[in-house]
Structure 1
Amino acid sequence: MALEDDSQFRETPWHALGSTSEVFERLHTNLDGLTSGEAAERLQRFGPNALTPPKKPSFLAKLWGQLNNVLIFILLAAAVVVAGLREWIETGLIIGVVVINVIIGLAQEGKAEKAAEAIKAMLSSTATVIRDGGKRSSVDASELVPGDIVFVKSGDRLPADLRLVEVTNLQVQEAMLTGESVSISKNLIPVAEASGLGDRKCMAFSATTVSAGQGLGVVVATGDNAQIGQINKLVSQVESTKTNLIIQMEILGRWLATIVVLIALGAFLLAFLLAKEGFVHAFESAVAIAVAMIPEGLPALVTIVLALGTKKMADQKAIIRQLPCVETLGSLTVICSDKTGTLTKNEMTVVAVKTAGGLYKVSGVGYAPQGSFSLDGRELSADELAGVRAVLEGGVLCNDSALSEDGGAFTPNGAPTEVSLITAALKAGINLDSLKAAKPRVGSVPFESEHKFMATVHEYGGRRVLLVKGAPDRLLPMCSAQLRGDGAAEVEGAGLEGSAATAPLEEGMWVRAQEELSSQGLRVLALCRSAGFEREEARRAGSI
């Protein structure tokens, strides 16, 4: 069966269609997928699932872009005149300045183009697709077509825009599209046609990443028609404008050219008419004065200074396409954005741990476990971190994310907040594998936005311990006690019922701590645990 015409198909609000059966009907597909013949036919019609590369300027166009400057024109004119006077050293110097200026500009633009092409790396290279009567296979992502049924799981990068038809605790990291730093829990509920990208929870978008769970979706948009393709189009259509520095340099060049010509003409007339010098000698004097007035080093100096600024920004992972933009960025005082995820790397870092014993500061940024803990400005040794480790053990065990290392590079897999807890635990010297082996998980309650916490149950020493991680305002009312201190004795004894290691909960103190940390722009999580209980007690109580 043929699909509707292309324009109507592309304008379909897939997130607003009432049911998956209606989606299948529009796409003429089903859960068994397309046949190989149908997929090949649609590939011819819609084209490969790839972004259209922007039109690149030719080398001559790039060269003209570097030469199209009033000061450069003045230098070239001076070089021609000086060469006519057989002043070869001066000619070589002027030409050298122009060449250096052009080479630096072309090199920087080439680096920026390579960085701009990095958006293509965001697209998945392969996809797990269901075709030919329900057979699951792995295909090149560029071969996906509208109507294909795609399976995704934790760690996968979405290969195309999908309308979801099955989800199992599916969470997707969409910071690159929406700026939302937390993973979005997906469902099958359609939303209003005017809903924003972040509210379309029945959709999964190309180039975003599955942080947890798994799901099944039908492809509704590929290549340039996907949301990432729309962004690529907008980037390609950005008009080039002159920066303030270029405008000022052009004004300086015009004034300089006018003044040089007037003074050189005046010098020629004075030498020829008043001093009665010969025409050739008077002309040579005028040219010498004109050349002396031209600041040959100015373009090179400006280019070198801007190049140094560009290198500094490149060291901070910021790529500048055109050198004069460095001056414009240097003039910025405030950058306003509605979502931090659009400007940052979307990496979370634990910077403080609050316990009954005090507020511990954590150094280090990113997911690499490099940093230390300090209390009241004093760096702590490993023997002084019993309380911190007790908190972070809960953060590691009550956690569905992971952090992997490959050649010194640390790659997160899961929610940024959970990965940051793993990094903090590694900084505190916790052996993750040994901890999980010693306290295996026997049950869990996944995080849901309705109750704002996640809970896990672990087996330890013949007893079971409940660990909970979530919003402080939800967990504090459930708590009745806190650690009396951060010493090893208190931490070890806290799991024993009626132990002197615990004290009544000081709820006011914890509420004030939460407010203080939140006022600093920090995301605050509460980590709690129950007193251990026997397996038989749990069975009688109907617990996990």
Structure 2
Amino acid sequence: MDENKIRELYAQNEVQQVFTNLQSSSSGLSDEEAAERLKKYGANTIKKAAAESEWKTFFKNFSSMMAILLWISGLIAIVSGTLELGIAIWLVNIINGLFSFWQERAAKRATDALNNMLPSYVEVIRSGKKKQINSKDLVPGDVFVLQAGNSIPADARIISASSMQVDQSALNGESVPESKTVKYDPGEGSYAESNLVYSGTTVGAGTARAIAFATGMNTEFGRIASLTQKQTKTTSPLTAELNRLTKQISIIAIAIGLIFFIAAIFFVKYPLAKASIFALGMIVAFIPEGLLPTVTLSLAQGVKRMAKKHALVKELNSVETLGETTVICSDKTGTLTQNQMTIHYLWTPANEYHVTGNGYVNNGQIELNTKQLWYEENLDLRKLVQIAALDNDTSVQPNKKGGKPKILGTPTEASLIVMAQKAGFDKQKALVKYPRLRELPFDSDRKRMSTIHRWDDTHYIVLTKGSYSDTIKQCDRIQVNGKIRPMTEADRLRAKKANADYASRGLRSMALAYKIIDHDVDVNKINIADAESNLVFVGLATMSDPPRPEIYDAVKRCHQAKIRIIMVTGDSKLTAKAVAVQIGLTSDKARVISGNELDKMSDEELRHALKDEVIFARVAPEQKYRIVKNCQANGEVVASTGDGVNDAPALKQADIGIAMGMTGTDVAKDAANMILTDDNFASIVAAIEEGRAVYSNIRKFLTYILTSNVPEAIPSVLFLFSAGLIPLPMTVMQILTVDLGTDMLPALGLGAEAADPDIMKQPPRKRSEHLLNKGVIIKAFCWYGLLSSIISTAAYFFVNYQNGWPNVALAANGSIYMRATTMVLGAIVFTQVANVLNCRTNTVSVFKKGLFKNKNIWYGIIFEIILFFILTVTPGIQQVFNTTILTMSDWLFLFLLPVPLVLLDELRKWLMYHHKNI
């Protein structure tokens, strides 16, 4: 039978019929029967999707397209006779794979620790006696007890209840608690049946007994978790882009190798075997062996920086995906807002009072000091505060560690208690003076709650609070400036207008009223209808779940970065739009689409709506998933935030799923790519900035590493196309020295580069824009590469010029040739020193960013200079790499090389910054 039909069956049947269907009774099951059912239905737990084996995860880090290219590259090097080179390339691959595996394993351990919660217990009725058991041992047919603060362990039918209210925000995203009674009422929205409670939700107030009809994966919580686990994750944008780049580089390297092979045969007349080895060496030289470790290091550095900002990333590639985000589909409750109801205005027929952090402002003009017990000076406010505090079952317990106070009860009543405390009202003293005699609990029919107190020696007082529409009709009198008079139609219209005005701003209004009754009435026998009739209307208390303080700046930064935020919430349309407009998420013209309206829309209509300002309210789990999927169909890179089980399918489908660590459910955390350990939306913006920095750093690395390929290739071109008349200015081993030796550490330093100052003022990169784009090619080959080629080639000819060229032939061997090739290698190394500094920024001056700020780059520069020095002075190594000792004037020339190159590029950046069209 369909899950919805089963729910309806348990909701609509009488309690006795429910007992019969579940073969249970009000005395509960026996331990023997419960044990049998536990074998049949299994443990009451949410099963996680089968985890990928550690071995599979391990080998995955060695089988990407770039990793495969490096395995092949190493094999080519070994075949071409350079065993040491092949082993070095393979070691680079192995070290990178191990590092990547270690990073992801560390992230998984941190996530598991975050999800590792203490076992929960539930009080059940077994054979007529109360018994505490582990909630995982609960079975269908078990009768269990609920009270304020309890997590509900299973889907169940209420069989008795007193003032029961349940926070279902983890399941339906609705910030307002649902009232629960034995009587059936279908309610409004998802999971709103008045006599059903659901696994994963929390009791806000009251007490109840319920009988479980679904446990574990058969609950609504489990059903959504199952839906999440059936989804498969798509390839991350970075993985797809690296695969594309690998193909591009492979094609370029093979094409260059083929050209050099043909040229070596036809121009230099090399034998086939020698030409093959020469060509294979050039192929290896043009493959950026440092790309994979640089990408991994960039991602790892991003993960590390994000962890310090309370964002735990589970997969390395998720860091860069954040940087591509174009749309954030965000829940409202607990994500954009604080999930904490707060009083904003107190309204009496005589005036309106704005509630602030320190006091209350009368019509925005007179600030009243809370320490002076301001409400005592105003009879209407005094009565309103008195009702709010005394007609209230919620208590607020201070946190001894200085954190948020603990609320025992509903958020709505908590807001009234906090307001009264701010006013200086002492509830305990008031209860001594006006002891509570009876409570008329809240129910979903009346939508009111009343308490009866001793008022004086001859009177009782009835204090009532409830929804505006259901309370105002019980009032026939009104209190204005402390005086009671009959309520007129004009009074009702003014109150109605005030309530409508607050509703239009997304605020909830609660009406407060009272009446005095004589002592000759038996308060224990008075019925609810008589107690709550002929009330005196005092005023309204208006409240909302306020936005997080940091959300305003976070939204502003998203807009600057051209990132859209789409609110997807289970809350009402009015509340959703009011919050969205208040925090600057959308304009007042934004379209609000309800879950019911969404059901009637085709995917094409939805995709069209998603292109404009839009808010989604009263949505079900499957609908949020559908919204994310259609955003992606529009070509968007989607980040989806959430904390409840209802968010899990969307989190899994999204390009980047972001779960809340403090309030999030385990299902949401399992489905997400990233977890915010402080539940702070602003951390998402910081994470996006890091993601953009990672991609930018990979592109900077690519520019840098490709730059050296130009001066490496030009000497070979001169040799080949001069038919050998120009002796080879740079050997294959020297080329590989640059790629695998001197370039490696400075390139890795670029992976740790901080974000450029203007990175969050640029739009997200388009999917059609690739790592190896026109800008990278022009900068690497036609600017940095060209300058390096001119300088390194000039160094070769200058050494020969000092020794008689062009009057004598270019040296093909001997000390002059060794010095000339060493100078070519040295010129490339030292121009790369300038290039790595130049690549640190795109348009901003490197001096403005801080010339010495990235210490990793300077460690790399020092390393490459020392390595070059060792290559030039060490016997044995000199012969392998065709180098020799340089003169002091040679070293002076090399050390001065970076200065003009850096200054020249600073001029280019200045021109680009001030003239965008250049």
Q: Which moved more, 1:422-431 or 1:53-62?
A: 422-431
Residue by residue over 1:365-400, the C-alpha shift from the partner in whole angstroms, topping out at 9 and shown as x without a partner, is xxxxxx545745998753477249845554332222
Residue identity matched to 2:250: A
C-alpha distance in 2, partners of 1:296/1:426? 59
**Maintained 8 Å contact 2:162/2:441:** no
Task: Name 1:444's counterpart in structure 2.
Answer: 439
C-alpha distance in 2, partners of 1:378/1:311? 46
Q: Which moved more, 1:48-57 or 1:283-292?
A: 283-292
Task: Name 1:420's counterpart in structure 2.
Answer: 415
Select 2:503's aligned residue among 511, 518, 540: 518
Residue identity matched to 2:163: N
Shift of 1:286: 0.9
Select 1:202's aligned residue among 195, 210, 218: 195
**Maintained 8 Å contact 1:105/1:323:** no
C-alpha distance in 2, partners of 1:270/1:385? 95
C-alpha distance in 2, partners of 1:309/1:393? 50
Task: Name 1:274's counterpart in structure 2.
Answer: 267
Task: Name 2:138's counterpart in structure 1.
Answer: 144
Task: Name 1:86's counterpart in structure 2.
Answer: 84
Select 2:176's aligned residue among 182, 202, 206: 182
Match runs of 1:255-274 below 5 Å:
255-271=248-264, 273-274=266-267
Pair 1:224 & 2:223 matched: no
Pair 1:354 & 2:353 matched: no
**Maintained 8 Å contact 2:70/2:93:** yes
Match runs of 1:28-427 below 5 Å:
28-75=23-70, 77-78=72-73, 84=82, 86=84, 96-112=95-111, 115=114, 117=115, 125-132=120-127, 134-189=128-183, 198-271=191-264, 273-275=266-268, 278-279=274-275, 282-283=278-279, 285-287=281-283, 289-291=285-287, 295=291, 298-300=294-296, 302-304=298-300, 307=303, 311=307, 315=310, 323-324=317-318, 327=321, 331-333=325-327, 335=329, 347-350=339-342, 352-355=344-347, 358-362=352-356, 371-373=357-359, 375=361, 376=364, 381-383=369-371, 386-387=374-375, 390=382, 391-404=384-397, 405=399, 407=401, 408-427=403-422
* Structure 2 unpaired stretches of 5+: 533-918
Identity %: 21
Shift of 1:48: 2.8
Task: Name 2:479's counterpart in structure 1.
Answer: 481
**Maintained 8 Å contact 1:72/1:299:** no
C-alpha distance in 2, partners of 1:351/1:266? 76
Residue by residue over 1:13-65, the C-alpha shift from the partner in whole angstroms, topping out at 9 and shown as x without a partner, is 54156333322333333223333332333233223333334311111222234
**Maintained 8 Å contact 2:452/2:462:** yes
Residue identity matched to 1:522: L
Shift of 1:190: 5.3
**Maintained 8 Å contact 1:306/1:324:** no
| Residues 1:319 and 1:417: Cα distance change in structure 2 (over 3 Å) | farther
Q: Which moved more, 1:422-431 or 1:168-177?
A: 422-431
C-alpha distance in 1, partners of 2:342/2:40? 49
| Residues 1:468 and 1:263: Cα distance change in structure 2 (over 3 Å) | farther
**Maintained 8 Å contact 1:372/1:428:** no
TM-score, length-scaled by structure 2 = 0.47
* Structure 1 unpaired stretches of 5+: 1-6, 363-370, 484-493
**Maintained 8 Å contact 2:299/2:320:** no
Shift of 1:220: 2.0
Residue by residue over 1:313-355, the C-alpha shift from the partner in whole angstroms, topping out at 9 and shown as x without a partner, is x727x86656427625862436377xx5596788233152234
C-alpha distance in 2, partners of 1:417/1:330? 39
**Maintained 8 Å contact 1:156/1:210:** yes
Task: Name 1:365's counterpart in structure 2.
Answer: none
**Maintained 8 Å contact 1:471/1:524:** yes
| Residues 1:516 and 1:295: Cα distance change in structure 2 (over 3 Å) | same
| Residues 1:325 and 1:524: Cα distance change in structure 2 (over 3 Å) | farther
**Maintained 8 Å contact 1:458/1:465:** yes
C-alpha distance in 2, partners of 1:306/1:144? 43
C-alpha distance in 1, partners of 2:282/2:56? 35
Shift of 1:236: 2.2
| Residues 1:538 and 1:274: Cα distance change in structure 2 (over 3 Å) | farther
**Maintained 8 Å contact 1:178/1:342:** no
C-alpha distance in 2, partners of 1:149/1:311? 44
Residue identity matched to 2:466: G
C-alpha distance in 2, partners of 1:106/1:198? 38
Residue identity matched to 2:282: A
Question: What SS does structure 2 have at the residue aligned with 1:324?
Answer: helix
Shift of 1:357: 5.5
Residue identity matched to 2:478: S
C-alpha distance in 2, partners of 1:292/1:248? 15
Shift of 1:197: 5.5
Select 1:18's aligned residue among 9, 13, 17: 13
**Maintained 8 Å contact 1:101/1:303:** no
| Residues 1:98 and 1:480: Cα distance change in structure 2 (over 3 Å) | same
**Maintained 8 Å contact 1:243/1:325:** no
**Maintained 8 Å contact 2:162/2:208:** yes
Question: What SS does structure 1 have at the residue aligned with 2:58?
Answer: helix
Residue identity matched to 1:349: M
Shift of 1:447: 2.6
| Residues 1:512 and 1:230: Cα distance change in structure 2 (over 3 Å) | same
| Residues 1:447 and 1:18: Cα distance change in structure 2 (over 3 Å) | closer
Residue identity matched to 2:509: V
C-alpha distance in 1, partners of 2:324/2:343? 29
Question: What SS does structure 2 have at the residue aligned with 1:480?
Answer: strand
| Residues 1:379 and 1:109: Cα distance change in structure 2 (over 3 Å) | farther
C-alpha distance in 1, partners of 2:298/2:369? 50
| Residues 1:90 and 1:234: Cα distance change in structure 2 (over 3 Å) | closer
| Residues 1:416 and 1:326: Cα distance change in structure 2 (over 3 Å) | farther
Give the root-mean-square deviation of aligned CA atoms: 4.5
C-alpha distance in 1, partners of 2:4/2:470? 44
Q: Which moved more, 1:425-434 or 1:516-525?
A: 425-434
| Residues 1:98 and 1:456: Cα distance change in structure 2 (over 3 Å) | same
Residue by residue over 1:283-322, the C-alpha shift from the partner in whole angstroms, topping out at 9 and shown as x without a partner, is 575156314586456513652475268547x727x86656
| Residues 1:265 and 1:8: Cα distance change in structure 2 (over 3 Å) | closer
C-alpha distance in 1, partners of 2:367/2:94? 58
Question: What SS does structure 2 have at the residue aligned with 1:42?
Answer: helix
